[in-house]
A and B are shown apart, each in its own frame.
Chain A
Amino acid sequence: MIKVHNLTGGYTHSPIIQGLDLEIRRGEFFALLGPNGSGKTTLFKLITGQLQKKSGNILLDGKEISTYSKLAKAKKVAVLSQEASVSFDYTVEEIVSLGRYPHQKGILKNLSKEDRKIIEEVMDITKVSAFRKKQFRMISGGEKQRVLLAKALAQEPELLLLDEPTNHLDIKHTFQLLDLLKERQQTMGLTVFAILHDLNVASLYADRFALLHEGSLLEVGDVEMLRKVEQLQKVYQVQVNAQSHPTVPKPQLLMTPNYAKAGEFLNFEGSFEINQDNHSIHIEFKKALRTISNCVLGDGIQWLKHFSHVYEAESRVSFDSKAKLQKWLENNLIPYEQAAGMIVEGNLEEIIILEEIGATQMMVIVTVGTANGDILIDPQSDQPKHTINIMLFIDAHFTDGALVNGSMLATEGKVKALQEHGAKEFPSSNDTLLLGLTQQGEKISTADSQSDIGNAISQLVYRAVQKVLKKQNRQLH
């Protein structure tokens, strides 16, 4: 659709764009990324013809773009930029009609039937028909942008150029607008070339990307390009982490502000409070911990402050334990959005161990409950079946990978203790595990069984589970 070859150009003497090559294929959604001043808008204006190039070629459908007449170009290429101001009180419909300008024929240049049909069509698609008689100046920013999009679509373009079209829009209107464009791209084969500021929004909508840095392209590629964190950090000079979108297989970027890097250092022992009574154990940390867990509440990888084991004498855990837990937390004035918790059936035994292993402080809380409401006796080993709930808090800084390592090692420790206890099968699908990290100190990226910290996790959990099982046995017999 558009081929840029060895393009140089920009304002006055020192051209920003220097020898740039780029190809935009027909029917794709192409996003041009880059920080302010990297030359995005300049490149854009060179393509629209508002700036004169110094050298190189820009081919539109194989023909040098500057050889197109203005009308011929407007039939192929439409532009949607940041919110435009319109002088005088034109109505929405009149603004949209302006999009037919390049198609109007004859001396009188009135709107033909065909023109009116297309105007109706694009107003329907963009959902602006409802306020067609309203004055453009009186409608909201999101509506304005839809009207201008309708105007651009009325040109029936093959290529749509977008210059930060969602700049002033809230997320609702941003997604509305881009959804509309995406649909147009997918159903009508519209080619979209967009400057987008928001990397995460770009990641969700664009097919291919180009990263512009100081006038030249660092990379052109598909969405996986956004996982190259070092490159992005170099260009934007912000600490970036790439994560996966929870439901769409695309990366999302998380930025770390400078102030957050050097937080206040808290002494582990003084950083939490334990409230324990006959109904629950609740630990509250002063600062949120990085957690990984499969608890009823607060599962996955999160940042949490409150950790609860709630005892339930009779097991009614079955179906809606999450709602029950939320209710309990609410009653106890604990914000459940920041809490991880589990319901312990039968309250058999609990143990809390706080230890310093090596230079690292750790605390583990283990509670044992009945499985499925009854104290089932394992027929093979003559031992009761349990659900074992473990919460392990570590004063260290783990990467996500280390978190997974840690949870594996904790499980190993638990299994070892159970084996020694005589259990042959471990059918307790209700077991829960939570690791909470203070994320203080040096970053640890591996916590396998070879490392001190890995060993320590496994050991501590092993001892805790062992102890709790012994305690429980004493009670039973």
Chain B
Amino acid sequence: MRNLSIRRFLNNNIGWLYILSGGLLLCTSLLALFVSSVQVPVPTILHIILGNTLNSGWLENVPKNEVMIIWNIRLPRVLLAFCVGASLSLAGAAFQGLLRNPLADPYTIGVSSGASLGAVIVIFFQITIIGLGSFTLPVVAIISGLLTLLVVFGLVRLSSRSLAVETIVLAGIIVSSFIGALVSLIISLGDKDAMTQIMYWLYGSVGMRGWEYVQLIIPFMIIGAFILFYHYRELNALALGEEAADHIGVDVKKGKRFVLVGASLLTGASVAVSGSIGFVGLVIPHLVRLVIGPNHRHVLPLSLLTGGTFLILADLLARTLISPNELPIGVVTALIGAPVFAFLLIRERLGKRE
């Protein structure tokens, strides 16, 4: 019986897509661990990872500095890239479904601007909250991201009782631009040092963060992803429009609130640990939809896998292209993402014409 259902799963093509994207993720991860100024052979990499996680390493005499490089620097970097990419594209898929707008992305409703503002304030005023230490920045960023969500919600509630999609988008844009202005104001008031620091943070990066940041994002990612996966049917139903979704028994308000909170958690946490990285949340869900159709049951998990893979790859390019210097990862995502997106759009139109 079990075998049968697995076989049906694979027969369905979609099963193969899951396997393909999973495999792609593993390969990309290995590649990212392997390629760098100091190249560690793949078996050694596997040994170090398995040894540290399951205590089942089989190699002896592995140089200590290699262990250091793989375990303390590269692996957390790859994992963080994965988490951020996965979170952003999952949030993007959810926002697009919720707002019924293919142009929506995690940055549409202002959560990321809020998180950025928090981070910029921390950098500018050199704030350190006692007990948090170097975590002051991400924690403040997440909190200010969620506060922004509350402001947006409040604005929507005051202007329309039904949480209308148009109002959400409008309120998001209003709040984002206001906060964006505040960020610019702070930057222009600061000295050159602070300015550079802030700008670099805003470009986004997953480098030199260490395990702590991975630990920081993972709970948010798990909770957010769980909330979104649980509501995949509501997201599908919303494609009919809110009234029609209501008619088939969907509690639209509740569903929307959950999806917004889940996606905002993912976005806020991502921005907090890595700065604002654009384009992932917009392009990846599109790409996934082009391949498997719009059913959120598959769009959500596949966006997660593909988004993670994409950001690992982008990070790899960011740190190798002009090595030993690094490019901001946001630049790379946009540089790869935009042409790929354009190509897909054109190809889709050509395909339809045939």
Cα distance, A102 to B240, chains bound together (Å): 15
Contact residue among B236, B240, B247, B293 (Cβ-Cβ distance under 8 Å from A74) = B247
Is A98 part of the contact surface with B, judged by Cβ < 8 Å?
A: yes
Is A90 part of the contact surface with B, judged by Cβ < 8 Å?
A: yes
Does the CB pair A88–B294 fall under 8 Å?
yes
| A81-B243, A84-B240, A94-B295 as given contacts; A102 in contact with B248, CB under 8 Å | yes
Is B338 part of the contact surface with A, judged by Cβ < 8 Å?
A: no
Is A70 part of the contact surface with B, judged by Cβ < 8 Å?
A: yes
Contact residue among A74, A81, A86, A109 (Cβ-Cβ distance under 8 Å from B248) = A74
Contact residue among B97, B241, B250 (Cβ-Cβ distance under 8 Å from A101) = B250
Does the CB pair B244–A81 fall under 8 Å?
yes
Contact partners of B236 in chain A: CB under 8 A: 90, 94, 98
Is B100 part of the contact surface with A, judged by Cβ < 8 Å?
A: yes
- A100: nearest chain-B partner, CB-CB: B248
Does the CB pair B248–A151 fall under 8 Å?
yes
Minimum CB–CB distance for A456 against chain B, Å: 64
Is A104 part of the contact surface with B, judged by Cβ < 8 Å?
A: yes
- Residue count of chain A within 8 Å CB distance of chain B: 31
Contact partners of A89 in chain B: CB under 8 A: 289, 293-294
Is B347 part of the contact surface with A, judged by Cβ < 8 Å?
A: no
Does the CB pair B239–A90 fall under 8 Å?
yes
| A101-B248, A102-B249, A109-B233 as given contacts; A90 in contact with B293, CB under 8 Å | yes
Contact partners of A73 in chain B: CB under 8 A: 249
Chain B 246-305 residues near chain A, CB threshold 8 A: 246-251, 289, 293-295
Contact residue among A70, A88, A91 (Cβ-Cβ distance under 8 Å from B249) = A70
Cα distance, A205 to B288, chains bound together (Å): 46
Is B102 part of the contact surface with A, judged by Cβ < 8 Å?
A: yes
Does the CB pair B248–A90 fall under 8 Å?
no
Contact partners of B295 in chain A: CB under 8 A: 90, 94
Give chain B's interface residue range (CB within 8 Å of chain A): 20 to 34
Cα distance, A84 to B293, chains bound together (Å): 20
Minimum CB–CB distance for B347 against chain A, Å: 15
- B290: nearest chain-A partner, CB-CB: A89
Contact residue among A85, A90, A151 (Cβ-Cβ distance under 8 Å from B241) = A85
Contact residue among A70, A86, A88, A151 (Cβ-Cβ distance under 8 Å from B246) = A70
Chain A 63-116 residues near chain B, CB threshold 8 A: 70-71, 73-75, 77-79, 81, 84-91, 94-95, 98-99, 101-102, 104, 109
Does the CB pair A70–B244 fall under 8 Å?
no
| A70-B249, A75-B249 as given contacts; A98 in contact with B102, CB under 8 Å | no
Cα distance, A107 to B23, chains bound together (Å): 28
| A84-B240, A84-B244, A88-B102 as given contacts; A101 in contact with B293, CB under 8 Å | no
Contact partners of A79 in chain B: CB under 8 A: 244, 247
Cα distance, A73 to B248, chains bound together (Å): 9
Contact partners of A78 in chain B: CB under 8 A: 247-248
Chain B, 49-86, contact with A by CB distance < 8 Å: what is the 0/1 string? 00000000000000000000000000000000000000
Cα distance, A109 to B246, chains bound together (Å): 18
Minimum CB–CB distance for A286 against chain B, Å: 54
Minimum CB–CB distance for A106 against chain B, Å: 12
Cα distance, A86 to B249, chains bound together (Å): 17
Is A370 part of the contact surface with B, judged by Cβ < 8 Å?
A: no
Is A48 part of the contact surface with B, judged by Cβ < 8 Å?
A: yes
In this complex, which of B237, B251, B289, B293 has the most chain A Cβ atoms within 10 angstroms of its Cβ? Answer: B293
Chain B, 31-42, contact with A by CB distance < 8 Å: what is the 0/1 string? 000000000000
- A135: nearest chain-B partner, CB-CB: B293
A-B contacts besides A84-B241, A88-B294, A101-B233, 20 pairs, CB < 8 Å? A48-B246, A71-B249, A73-B249, A77-B247, A86-B240, A86-B241, A87-B101, A87-B239, A88-B97, A88-B100, A88-B102, A88-B289, A89-B293, A90-B239, A98-B233, A101-B248, A101-B249, A102-B249, A104-B233, A151-B248
A-B contacts, 15 of them at CB < 8 A, read: A70-B246, A74-B247, A86-B241, A87-B101, A87-B239, A88-B239, A90-B239, A90-B295, A94-B236, A95-B240, A98-B233, A101-B250, A102-B249, A104-B233, A151-B248
Interface residues of A (CB under 8 A from B): 48-50, 70-71, 73-75, 77-79, 81, 84-91, 94-95, 98-99, 101-102, 104, 109, 151-152, 155
Interface residues of B (CB under 8 A from A): 97, 100-102, 233, 236-237, 239-241, 243-244, 246-251, 289, 293-295
